[in-house]
């Protein structure tokens, strides 16, 4: 017999609208699962059961009134959606994954939280993240490591590792994440989930702690394409003060609608399998995932070219400089620098040595890369509709396998070798998705990534939905489920 966490987020929302499922019943179910499993999975840093029960009760009252009055409800009304602990929720502890902020309680909501509240979602708590979201694994001093439910010896990735562990382990139906160098797509890949990094400006990063580099954005992680798409509908939209703005969707269009239709006609897709970081080798399992995706795309009638582009270290060097500066920009309380983990201290030290000229040159390199991809690969009418790569160059890493406190430079190099493909779309601002199409013989998930034209998430979502229909993955669940 199916349990509540077997239902998709959209199925849960439908039950709430029809009155066959109570938001409070659903919330209590997830709180029990968190109590049973989270010490193992490391999905949450801070739980908010009292807030969750209060919001669930209010959601039930509103759903009852809406049924009585014949009103429509928002598409995820009453559904639990945890928030990553890099984002502010007024009155709730926000650690940023750092011991230096273990007692930090903000008095303002980030805009994404404002959107989630307006949508009637229920916040179970704040999900686990590495310190300041800097590493691509989730291991810090304030919570247990986030582990992929597919192999508890392995990391759930980062920096949205807690969000992915929660969804993959059945502790939440969908989750809010954020992505500055792959931080939605990396954990989605290693946890067997679907994740969307939206176009720059699609989701507001305000009203405080803006990422002035433009690398980071919030986005959804879900078990299905439709669940992630509808959460993007909730999160998306401009807010006052936003420095960027993605093109608006056509009237009456939604990301969920894109997930419910297939691509219009035959798409032209280019497969790029050579890691863009010099000296990085692609693991055979990751190549097999991309090759399998290419074969499936061709079976579905799409055109796929396989190209080799010259390896250029310019983007890695530029990304490193900007990443170092953004690490330094995090306002650490006076006297708390010693509480930071070795990698954070190292990146902040390097950031202090980046000159203004180097920072400007790096930002120009990002813009040049975006223009080159737009001109050479994604020009409408003559270019490709999407770019296919592996999400990662290696299978899921062991907990502690990437961390190197004794040599942070070597650790950063290891992370670059693990994630050579993902930062490109943070640099350019283009949308990208990780699709869980492949599992290894050891039952480890391996994602493939599609990047698209700026502002055209709907193409990637429709394509992903077609792949999901051809090779369903949501019914494939880890043992902890």
**pLDDT tens digits, 306-317:** 999 888 899 999
Give the pLDDT confidence of 375-412 residue by residue, as tens digits: 999 999 889 999 999 999 999 999 999 999 999 999 99
Of 369, 393, 390, 391, which Cα lies nearest the Cα of 454? 369
Ranges of residues in the chain with a pLDDT under 70 are 1
Of 341, 338, 402, which Cα lies nearest the Cα of 141? 341
SS (H, E, C) the chain: CCCHHHCCHHHHHHHHHHCCCCHHHHHHHHHHHHHHHHHHHCCEEEECHHHHHHHHHHHHHHHHHHHHHCCCCCCCCCCECCEECCCCCCCCCCCCCCHHHCCCCCCCCCHHHHHHHHCCCECCEEECCCHHHCCCCCCCCCCCCCECCCCCCEECCCCCHHHHHHHHCCCCCEEEEEECCCCCHHHHHHHCCEEEECCCCCECCCCCCCCCCCCCEEEEEECCHHHHHHHHHHHCECCCCCCCCCCCCCCCCCHHHHHCCCCCCCCEEEEECCCCCCCCCCCHHHHHHHHHHHHHHHHCCCEEEEECCCCCCHHHHHHHHHHHHHHHHCCCCCCCHHHCCHHHHHHHHHHCCCCHHHHHHHHHHHHHHHHHHHHHCCCCCCCCCEEEEECCCCCCCECCCCCCCCCHHHHHHHHHHHCCCCHHHHHHCCCEEEEEEEECCCCCEEEEEEECCCCCHHHHHHHHHHHHHHCCCCCCCCCCC
| Distance separating alpha carbons of residues 463 and 432, to the nearest angstrom | 12
pLDDT at 188: 99
Calculate Rg over the CA atoms of the chain: 21
Diameter of the chain measured on Cα atoms = 64
Percent of the chain at pLDDT > 90 equals: 97
pLDDT at 1: 66
Tell me which of 159, 204, 434, 464 is the catalytic residue.
Answer: 159
Q: What are phi and psi of 290, to 5 degrees?
A: -70, -40
pLDDT at 2: 83
| Distance separating alpha carbons of residues 183 and 201, to the nearest angstrom | 17
Give the pLDDT confidence of 212-224 residue by residue, as tens digits: 999 999 999 999 9
Residue with tokens 């499922």: 21
Angle 353-357-358 (CA atoms, 0-180°, nearest 5)? 55
Q: How far is CA 215 from CA 4, 429, 430, in A?
A: 36, 7, 10
111-118 helix and 225-235 helix, angle to the nearest 10 degrees: 110
Tell me which of 22, 98, 178, 183 is the catalytic residue.
Answer: 183
Token pair belonging to 70: 């014949």
Whether 84 is a known active-site residue: answer: yes
Whether the full predicted model's pTM is greater than 0.95, yes or no, is yes
Q: Which residues contact 264 (CB under 8 A, 6 or more apart)?
A: 462
Of 228, 205, 249, which Cα lies nearest the Cα of 75? 228
Tell me which of 84, 115, 126, 197 is the catalytic residue.
Answer: 84
Whether 159 is a known active-site residue: answer: yes
Percent of the chain at pLDDT > 70 equals: 100
């Amino acid at each position: 017999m199916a349990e509540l966490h077997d239902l998709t987020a959209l199925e849960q929302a439908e039950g709430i609208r029809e009155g066959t499922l109570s938001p409070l019943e659903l919330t209590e179910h997830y709180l029990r699962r968190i109590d049973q499993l989270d010490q193992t999975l490391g999905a949450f840093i801070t739980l908010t059961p009292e807030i969750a029960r209060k919001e669930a009760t209010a959601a039930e009252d509103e759903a009852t009134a809406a049924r009585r009055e014949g009103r429509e409800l928002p598409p995820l009304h009453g559904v639990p959606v945890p928030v990553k602990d890099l984002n502010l929720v007024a009155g709730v502890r926000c650690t940023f994954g750092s011991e230096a902020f273990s007692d930090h309680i903000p008095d303002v909501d980030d805009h994404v939280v404002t959107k989630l509240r307006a949508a009637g979602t229920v916040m179970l708590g704040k999900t686990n993240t590495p310190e300041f979201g800097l590493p691509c694994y989730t291991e810090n001093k304030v919570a247990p490591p986030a582990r992929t439910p597919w192999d508890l010896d392995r990391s759930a990735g980062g920096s949205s590792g807690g969000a992915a562990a929660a969804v993959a382990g059945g502790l939440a139906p969908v989750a809010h994440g954020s992505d500055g160098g792959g931080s939605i797509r990396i954990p989605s890949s290693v946890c067997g989930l679907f994740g969307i990094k939206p176009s720059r400006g699609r989701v507001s990063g305000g009203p405080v702690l803006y990422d002035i580099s433009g690398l980071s954005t919030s986005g959804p992680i879900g078990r299905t394409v439709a669940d992630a798409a509808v959460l993007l509908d909730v999160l998306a939209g401009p807010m006052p003060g936003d420095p960027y703005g993605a093109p608006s969707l056509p009237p009456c269009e939604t990301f969920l609608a894109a997930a419910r239709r297939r691509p219009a006609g035959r798409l032209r897709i280019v497969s790029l399998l050579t890691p863009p970081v010099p000296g990085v080798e692609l693991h055979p399992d990751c190549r097999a995932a991309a090759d399998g995706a290419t074969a499936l795309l061709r079976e579905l009638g799409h055109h796929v070219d396989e190209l080799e582009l010259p390896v250029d270290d310019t983007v890695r060097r530029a990304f490193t400089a900007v990443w170092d500066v953004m690490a330094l920009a995090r306002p650490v309380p006076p006297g708390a620098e010693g509480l930071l983990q070795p990698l954070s201290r190292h990146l902040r030290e390097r950031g202090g040595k980046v000159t203004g000229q180097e920072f400007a040159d790096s930002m120009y390199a990002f813009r040049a890369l975006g223009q080159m991809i737009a001109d050479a690969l994604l020009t409408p009418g003559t270019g490709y509709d999407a770019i296919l790569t592996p999400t990662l160059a290696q299978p899921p890493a062991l907990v502690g396998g990437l961390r190197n406190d004794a040599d942070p430079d070597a650790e950063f190099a290891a992370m670059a070798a693990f994630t050579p493909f993902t930062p490109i779309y943070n640099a350019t601002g283009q949308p990208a998705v990780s699709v869980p199409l492949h599992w290894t013989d050891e039952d480890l998930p391996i994602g493939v990534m599609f990047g698209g034209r700026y502002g055209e998430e709907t193409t990637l979502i429709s394509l992903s939905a077609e792949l999901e229909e051809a090779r369903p993955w949501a019914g494939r669940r880890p043992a902890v489920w």
